[in-house]
Amino acid sequence: MVTQITSFGRSGLYDWMMQRISAVVLSLYTIFIIGYLLLHPHLTFEQWSALYSSTWMRVFSLMTLLSIGVHSWIGLWSISTDYIKPTGIRFFFQALCGLLMFVYIVWGIQVLWGL
Amino acid sequence: MLVSIYRYNPEVDDAPYMKDYQIDLPAGKDLMVLDVLNLLKAQDPSISYRRSCREGVCGSDGMNMSGKNGLACITPVSQAVKNGKLVLRPLPGLPVVRDLVVDMGQFYKQYEKIRPYLLNDTPVPAIERLQSPEEREKLDGLYECILCACCSTACPSFWWNPDKFVGPSGLLQAYRFLADSRDTATQERLSDLDDPFSVFRCHGIMNCVNVCPKGLNPTKAIGNIRTMLLQRAT
């Protein structure tokens, strides 16, 4: 048993499951957006803003935003523990990733709700 | 035929180097790579490598032959030669002791970690612990591992974290004891594996399956461990 305090859920199984669930959400969102753009070739600002003002779309988008955060954190954490051996640099890299993801999520929520 | 061998004697050499040997192979015969090494050893007695049973049972002569891990004793030269040249290197990722001999310490440590023996806290029966043919069948494809380390040293996850990731060989053995009806420590064994490294560093690239000289499938065993962990946790 290797105890890790910086991984996402501290349990290998939990991280693995979250990685897969978030991947499913991300692919559904990608397929939806591509499909929407294909079905609306002459998309107007009104249509686009109507889409994003509906509650279900905001829920779906927020879920995707959180999934990006979780997915990239687990992925980058794995990569950093594989390739960055000096503890100081690895910790700095992980902290930077964590900070970036936090900023992106808060910023994304602000964009989504247009606050 | 041209044979290029990785040479390193830490007492003499500053750094490892590749040495080329020219050898005439007997016509009309497909020798095994180990036979070629034996012929070369007669030419240059300083070449070091491990070998024992010479029939793919002991797992001593695991090495990297023209880029692919395998047992030298059961790999025909015709299969290992690339562009008319046979390149022999030690198993990747493990410290080299000398020439083709590697220090297997890290590999054995991971094997030891999964407790490769039956754990059973029920009273010992008078004769033996019986298994039904179906229960015994579950161990097929698992117990045959000869610990040659070809799989684990072909795995990038094992290269980067040999101290934390158990590796395909160790995990195949871990599942061998998880699947055994006579073992009662299943929950304990699973708890020991549920961290981000031991099992989950496997990203399923199947290098292990590609090189296993016994044709075993560690990736499938790892998948089964994941399923067991998931069943227990949901």
Which of B158, B197, B222 to mutate: most A Cβ within 10 Å? B197
For A13, nearest residue in chain B (alpha carbons)? B194
Could you say which of B160, B161, B196 has the minimum Cβ distance to residue A12? B196
Per-residue pLDDT at B190: 95
List domains and CATH numbers for chain B.
2-102 (3.10.20.30), 105-233 (1.10.1060.10)
Is residue B204 a contact partner of residue B178, using CB atoms and an 8 Å limit? no
Subunit contact B195:A3, Cβ cutoff 8 A: yes
CB contact under 8 Å between B200 and A12, yes or no, is yes
N residues, chain B: 234
Q: Measuring CA to CA, which residue among A32, A24, A28 is closest to residue A51?
A: A32
State the nearest Cα–Cα gap between A29 and chain B, in angstroms. 24
Q: Within 10 Å of residue A95's Cβ, how many Cβ atoms?
A: 11
Partner B contacted by A4 (CB < 8 A): yes
SS (H, E, C) chain B: CEEEEEECCCCCCCCCEEEEEECCCCCCCCCEHHHHHHHHHHHCCCCCCCCCCCCCCCCCCEEEECCEEEEHHHCEHHHHCECCEEEEECCCCCCEEECCEECCHHHHHHHHHCCCCCCCCCCCCCCCCCCCHHHHHCCCCCCCCCCCCCCHHHCHHHHHCCCCCCHHHHHHHHHHHHCCCCCCCHHHHHHHHCCCCCCCCCCCCCHHHHHCCCCCCHHHHHHHHHHHHHHHHC
Residues in chain A: 115
Whole-angstrom distance, CA of residue B156 vs CA of residue B160? 6
What is the Cα–Cα distance from B69 to B72, expressed in whole angstroms?
9
- Which residues neighbour A44 within 8 Å (Cβ) at sequence distance 6 or greater? none
Q: Phi/psi of residue B52, each to 5°?
A: -145, -75
pLDDT at B233: 87
Tell the residue number behind the tokens 């490769």, with chain if given: B116
Could you tell me the pTM of the whole model? Answer: 0.90
ipTM of the prediction: 0.84
B157, B160, B195 ranked by CB distance to A12: nearest: B195
Q: Which two tokens stand for residue B75?
A: 């790999």
Which residue of chain B is at minimal alpha-carbon distance from A12?
B196
A33-72 residues touching B, CB cutoff 8 A = none
Inter-chain touch B226–A13, beta carbons under 8 Å: yes
Q: Report pLDDT digits (tens) over B73-98.
A: 999 999 999 999 999 999 999 999 99
Q: Which CATH class is domain A12-39+50-113?
A: mainly alpha
Q: Which of A7, A17, A83 sits opposite B160 (nearest CB)?
A: A83
Statement: residue B99 has pLDDT above 70:
yes
Q: What is chain B's mean pLDDT, rounded?
A: 95
Nearest to A1 among B160, B161, B192 (CB): B192
Mean per-residue pLDDT, A22-29: 98
Quick: pLDDT tens for A42-98.
999 999 999 999 999 999 999 999 999 999 999 999 999 999 999 999 999 999 999
Instruction: Give pLDDT tens digits for B156-189.
Output: 999 999 999 999 999 999 999 999 999 999 999 9
Both tokens of residue B189?
Answer: 């064994």
CB contact under 8 A, B198 and A16: no
pLDDT at position A115, please?
58
Residues 6+ positions from B46 with CB-CB distance below 8 Å: B9
Interchain contact, A2 vs B164, CB within 8 Å: yes
CA atoms within 13 A on the CB side of B145: 28
What is the C-alpha radius of gyration for chain B, rounded to an integer number of angstroms?
20
